[in-house]
Amino acid sequence: MNAVLGSATALDAERLPRHIAIIMDGNGRWAKQRHLPRTAGHHAGVGAVRRTVEFCAKKGITALTLFAFSSENWRRPQEEVSVLMGLFLATLEKETQKLHQNNVRMRIIGDRSAFVPELQERMDAAERMTADNNGLNLSIAANYGGRWDITQAARRLAQEVADGRLSPADLTEQKLEALMSLADLPEPDLFIRTGGEQRISNFLLWQLAYTELYFTPVLWPDFDEQTLSQAIADYAGRQRRFGYTGDQVLQRSESR
């Protein structure tokens, strides 16, 4: 953290990230440390999800995006995958109403066609129920891959070209971006990965282009308000330059 910023100022609304994206990693190791099956870690991880959502809603954060299941996680033992699917279903059933009461707008990003119909219906229902809420935008990435996201957007633009509605010369970054997941939200300001690994693992590849990255060794089931506040304070102490020089950024903020 920047030494000039005390932790009190660091949490000033002005320096709060508008959009936080998290890779919730370390469930398996958390369980292993306790000589429990990996799936016990996934169950324990639900508590950390609840704490994180509540914290972000309370702080007035605009958007929270959580990586719950990657397009590569199907490679795991079948039993673990099926416990995870059961957990999604149960959590959606149990938590959606409460999220709705708290004005949370929920969506699921990723290729949901791979999920069993019952789970797809639950996902649709949760989105429908919370569609008109204007509080925290909670996005759950499930069977999500950053490469999938870019590919599905490209495929839709290719279709427009094939239909003669778009010429290749008019294919711009903005047009592609508009078709990516989360296009209607501010880009993630702060990315957090728990569990100590320092990689993106095919999460939001396009959307993270200018996101501040924060890695913590804390295992996901142990993630709490304190760890999240630390990440936000660290973020608040950084200078985001977007290609400008540091002096230019200072001048711009002084003239505001």
**Cβ 189 to ligand IPE shortest distance, Å:** 20
**Cβ 93 to ligand IPE shortest distance, Å:** 19
Among 17, 22, 25, 44, which residue sits at the site for Mg ion (rule: CB under 5 A)?
25
Contacts of 185 (CB under 8 A, 6+ apart): 19, 62, 63, 137, 139
Residues lying near ligand IPE in the complex (CB under 6 A) are found at 23-29, 67-70, 73, 84, 195, 197, 199, 201, 220
Three-state DSSP class for 4?
Answer: coil
Three-state DSSP class for 143?
Answer: strand
Partner interacting with residue 120 (select from ligand IPE, Mg ion, none; CB below 5-8 Å by kind): none
Contacts of 215 (CB under 8 A, 6+ apart): 192, 193, 196, 197, 198
User: Residue 40 or 56: which CB sits closer to ligand IPE?
Assistant: 40
User: Residue 15 or 32: which CB sits closer to Mg ion?
Assistant: 32
User: Residue 39 or 96: which CB sits closer to ligand IPE?
Assistant: 39
Partner interacting with residue 69 (select from Mg ion, ligand IPE, none; CB below 5-8 Å by kind): ligand IPE
Active-site pick, 2, 12, 25, 103: 25
User: Residue 33 or 97: which CB sits closer to ligand IPE?
Assistant: 33
Active-site pick, 2, 27, 73, 170: 73
12 is catalytic: no
Alpha helices by DSSP H, listed for the chain, are 7-10, 27-33, 38-59, 78-101, 117-130, 146-162, 173-178, 225-236, 246-254
Partner interacting with residue 27 (select from Mg ion, ligand IPE, none; CB below 5-8 Å by kind): ligand IPE
Question: Minimal CA–CA distance to 216: which of 202, 204, 234, 201?
Answer: 234
Phi and psi, residue 68, nearest 5°: -100, -30
170 is catalytic: no
The answer to whether residues 61 and 18 touch, using CB atoms and an 8 Å cutoff, is: yes
Q: Rule CB under 5 A: which residues touch Mg ion?
A: 25
Residues with catalytic function: 25, 73
